[in-house]
A and B are shown apart, each in its own frame.
Chain A
Amino acid sequence: MATTHFTTYIFCFLAFLSIMFALMVVLSKNPVHSVLYLVITFFTIAGQYVLLNAQFLAAVHIIVYAGAIMVLFLFVIMLLNLNKETEPHKSIWLKASASVASGLLLVVLVGSLKEATIQPINAFNPNIGLIENLGTTLFKDFLLPFEVSSILLLAAMVGAVMLGKKSIK
């Protein structure tokens, strides 16, 4: 019983942190702060992954998102010297409508998912998040998408290099 409670508390704590920092990402004025808040959000999400027995994914998540993508963001911000509160303000009317729209979306999404139920088909297996299982699935059932995604990454890389060049002549 005690463990059950313990897990539930951890979930609630992490969820609270995620939502709070996500909001701060959106609301903070300084882009650098936003990036840092986002990194924290990613860490809390990684925590959720661990709770869900997806340990390998949690590790990859931190490495890729917090380690690579967010560093890229920071790098760009530093490069463009955007770490000031330079952003011009949107009008109140726009801000209000944005809030109302997202609030509406939340309500509607919650409303639509409220009734959703799902029955597990397989017996519970705590090992599916392990690297062995994931590897088997990835290279057995998803070999072609895996290879294709490598091409996608290559294309993205070439594109980024082409775009980032000073001027294309």
Chain B
Amino acid sequence: MIKLVGLVPLLPLIGFVIIGLFGKTLSKTIVSVIGCGSILAAFAISLGIFFQLTGQAEKSVPVELFSWITAGKLSVPFSFLIDPLSSLFLLIITGIGFLIHVYSVGYMSHDEGFARFFAYLNLFIFFMLLLVLGSNYLIMFVGWEGVGLCSYLLIGFWFKNTAYNNAAKKAFVMNRIGDLGFLLGIILIFVTFGSIGYHDVFEQAKNMASGSPVLTSITLLLFIGAMGKSAQLPLYTWLPDAMAGPTPVSALIHAATMVTAGIYMVARSNILYTLSPIAMETVAVIGICTALFAATIGLAQNDIKKVLAYSTVSQLGYMFLALGVGAYTGAVFHVLTHAFFKALLFLGAGSVIHAMSGEQDIRRMGGLKKHLPITHITFLIGTLAIAGCPPFSGFFSKDEILANAFEHNKLLWFLGVLGAAMTTFYMFRLYFLTFKGDFRGTKEQHHHLHESPKSMTMPLVILAVLAVVGGLVGIPEALGGKHFLEAFLKPVFEDSTSRLPTLLSHDTEYMLMGIAVIVMAGSLYYAYTVYVKNKTLPAEESEELEPIHLLVYKKYWVDELYENAITKPLNMFSDILHKLVDNQIVDGFVNGIGRFITWFSGIIRYAQTGNIGFYVFVMVIGIVLILCTRIF
């Protein structure tokens, strides 16, 4: 089965080519069959690869497809690396990708860009698979750029809306800032190790001293790339704006897969990070800051997708916290469970928006429980999972991260628990305001309320089941389980874990779990009191807000800060360059040359007397001179 790995990215690519070229002439049925079918086939192969890998002793299988670039010292084969980490990501991408494709068939059924949407989605899956499958940083970079492109195309999918286009541009530019760091990191890796293949780099890195400056530089540069792609402080502002895209896109790209590329990259380079403590600390600090920062913003947002977007940023922060404290398995575990419940939540939100005829403001919703029973149940499961209610999947992964953070630094743990409490609060706030209470929308919307079609509810149900049981792959030993995921991923993180021993007693773990559950329950109860018992509603736009509330509601004015601190000075600077340097100096120089030549030729053209005799005379003199130089 591993031999067929080339087909995994190839099938979505073929799907993209067919739909992209002939999408306009094909019927919607054929488009959806090709779109979903190619992903399903890729998923089937991924599943086969996964089981073959679990069954065999050799855990790291390189598959070389062809020689790609050979230039001087640089030799990059186009090859894939099958190991537990990549095969797990294969399953997440193709599995959730397939469910979201199916969901999109229903969600996008009335859109005129149906075929275009599926073409982009297939292209995205192709690049994402390339990203995780590559056996060197260059292929990862190709995938990295490709998913950025697809993200851009899909955020601006409804390109007739200027605001959406601006959101797409913003995402693209922000990502480019990160990509530059990533690219510099790759170049530095090549300069340092003379290769960019994972195997060569990691083997050489193992023998380097911990904390060497070059490793720190490499890891920090790579982390800048991860910051951009995974929406960490300070490059996170694009992700909430990216909600301009269709909801399935938000679920697939901006929750489940693409934004976890940064986590994948750091986890893949785990040995490099383990060997540079400074980078580890940076990752952890940035992670926890992002987690808290985004969570506070999430507390006050009224757009159902914006809340989920900030929640995603916050959860990504948790993943980086896990990476920063050396809990690589925990990070990947959280990627897995987060992919389940966040995709579920986004698709649920999509279902709600679908039912509400495009309304996204939770102040206009409420009481949807009766009208959307399946969506309601699945959304509740997703909310419980993200809040970390045992035994839902989020509990186990978040618990693992917090336990590792506790061991690493008590303050990180405390902040993490604080963030978890806020997560619970804003998620239940969202849930209560949407599904409980009375309907607050217009009559027309009320009349129009309906449960979504099968193609949309089916993925919801499957994802809900996964969100419930997904945590079972990683039950910690303290609870008498076997951590399957840890055992499975062990070959990938072996070198790092041996350097970062974990010595947490089971009693401490019980205590931590207890605290987490109590905090979660308290936060849930508080949300219940505020939004169900007291029926508090978020303030309308016109109302005056308290300073802190306003600060959070306005997202700390970060966008405005960037606008004024970076964009405007840059625009001013480029204006100066344009008007002064380019128009005056450069153009002046070029035009000056032209003017000088015109002036000079105006003088010397008087030598052209038009007198043939004179010409001949000059010619004879010329001949004499030439002969003179030849002879004498």
Whether A102 contacts B630 by the Cβ 8 Å rule is: no
Q: Once bound together, how far apart are the Cα atoms of A162 and B621, in whole Å?
A: 36
B557 at the interface (CB under 8 A from A): no
Q: Please give, as numbers and ranges, the residues of chain B lying within 8 Å of A105 by CB-CB distance.
A: 620, 623-624
Closest residue of chain B to A106 (Cβ to Cβ) is B624
Q: Once bound together, how far apart are the Cα atoms of A108 and B617, in whole Å?
A: 15
Whether B617 contacts A101 by the Cβ 8 Å rule is: yes
Whether A112 contacts B630 by the Cβ 8 Å rule is: yes
Interface size class of A (residues with CB under 8 A): 10 to 19
Whether B613 contacts A94 by the Cβ 8 Å rule is: yes
Q: Once bound together, how far apart are the Cα atoms of A143 and B613, in whole Å?
A: 39
B479 at the interface (CB under 8 A from A): no
B627 at the interface (CB under 8 A from A): yes
Chain A's interface: helix, strand, loop or mixed, by majority? helix
Q: Once bound together, how far apart are the Cα atoms of A92 and B630, in whole Å?
A: 32
> Mask for A99-127, Cβ within 8 A of B = 1, else 0?
00110110011011000000000000000
Whether A97 contacts B623 by the Cβ 8 Å rule is: no
Q: Once bound together, how far apart are the Cα atoms of A90 and B614, in whole Å?
A: 12
Whether B617 contacts A98 by the Cβ 8 Å rule is: yes
> Mask for B593-617, Cβ within 8 A of A = 1, else 0?
0000000000000000000010001
Whether B621 contacts A109 by the Cβ 8 Å rule is: no
Closest residue of chain B to A90 (Cβ to Cβ) is B613
Closest residue of chain A to B626 (Cβ to Cβ) is A108
Q: Please give, as numbers and ranges, the residues of chain B lying within 8 Å of A94 by CB-CB distance.
A: 613
Q: Once bound together, how far apart are the Cα atoms of A94 and B618, in whole Å?
A: 12
Closest residue of chain A to B627 (Cβ to Cβ) is A108
CB distance from B614 to the nearest CB of A (A): 9
Whether A102 contacts B620 by the Cβ 8 Å rule is: yes
Q: Once bound together, how far apart are the Cα atoms of A111 and B623, in whole Å?
A: 14
Q: Once bound together, how far apart are the Cα atoms of A105 and B624, in whole Å?
A: 6
Chain B's interface: helix, strand, loop or mixed, by majority? helix
Q: Please give, as numbers and ranges, the residues of chain B lying within 8 Å of A108 by CB-CB distance.
A: 624, 627-628, 631
Q: Once bound together, how far apart are the Cα atoms of A97 and B623, in whole Å?
A: 15
Q: Please give, as numbers and ranges, the residues of chain A lying within 8 Å of B623 by CB-CB distance.
A: 105
Whether B617 contacts A112 by the Cβ 8 Å rule is: no
CB distance from B94 to the nearest CB of A (A): 72
Closest residue of chain B to A101 (Cβ to Cβ) is B620
Whether B617 contacts A111 by the Cβ 8 Å rule is: no
Q: Please give, as numbers and ranges, the residues of chain B lying within 8 Å of A104 by CB-CB distance.
A: 620-621, 624
Q: Please give, as numbers and ranges, the residues of chain B lying within 8 Å of A102 by CB-CB distance.
A: 620
Q: Please give, as numbers and ranges, the residues of chain B lying within 8 Å of A98 by CB-CB distance.
A: 613, 617
CB distance from B461 to the nearest CB of A (A): 88
Q: Once bound together, how far apart are the Cα atoms of A90 and B613, in whole Å?
A: 11
CB distance from B611 to the nearest CB of A (A): 10
Q: Please give, as numbers and ranges, the residues of chain B lying within 8 Å of A97 by CB-CB distance.
A: 617
Whether B624 contacts A101 by the Cβ 8 Å rule is: yes
Whether A109 contacts B617 by the Cβ 8 Å rule is: no
Q: Please give, as numbers and ranges, the residues of chain B lying within 8 Å of A90 by CB-CB distance.
A: 613
Whether B627 contacts A109 by the Cβ 8 Å rule is: yes
Q: Please give, as numbers and ranges, the residues of chain A lying within 8 Å of B627 by CB-CB distance.
A: 108-109, 112
Q: Please give, as numbers and ranges, the residues of chain A lying within 8 Å of B617 by CB-CB distance.
A: 97-98, 101
Q: Once bound together, how far apart are the Cα atoms of A112 and B631, in whole Å?
A: 6
Q: Once bound together, how far apart are the Cα atoms of A144 and B613, in whole Å?
A: 37
Q: Once bound together, how far apart are the Cα atoms of A108 and B630, in whole Å?
A: 11
> Mask for A124-148, Cβ within 8 A of B = 1, else 0?
0000000000000000000000000
Q: Once bound together, how far apart are the Cα atoms of A97 and B617, in whole Å?
A: 8
Q: Once bound together, how far apart are the Cα atoms of A108 and B626, in whole Å?
A: 10
Closest residue of chain B to A107 (Cβ to Cβ) is B624
Closest residue of chain A to B630 (Cβ to Cβ) is A112
Q: Please give, as numbers and ranges, the residues of chain A lying within 8 Å of B630 by CB-CB distance.
A: 112
Q: Please give, as numbers and ranges, the residues of chain A lying within 8 Å of B621 by CB-CB distance.
A: 101, 104
CB distance from B623 to the nearest CB of A (A): 7
Closest residue of chain A to B618 (Cβ to Cβ) is A101
Closest residue of chain A to B632 (Cβ to Cβ) is A111
Q: Please give, as numbers and ranges, the residues of chain A lying within 8 Å of B631 by CB-CB distance.
A: 108, 111-112
Tell me the B residues contacting A by CB distance below 8 Å.
613, 617, 620-621, 623-624, 627-628, 630-631
* Beyond A97-B617, A105-B620, 10 additional pairs, beta carbon < 8 A: A101-B621, A101-B624, A104-B620, A104-B624, A105-B623, A108-B624, A108-B628, A108-B631, A109-B627, A111-B631
Which 6 A-B pairs give the minimum distances between C-beta atoms? A108-B627, A101-B620, A112-B631, A108-B624, A104-B624, A112-B627
Task: Please list 12 pairs of residues, one from A and one from B, whose beta carbons are closer than 8 Å in the complex, sorted by A's number.
Answer: A94-B613, A97-B617, A101-B617, A101-B620, A101-B621, A102-B620, A104-B621, A104-B624, A105-B620, A105-B624, A108-B631, A109-B627
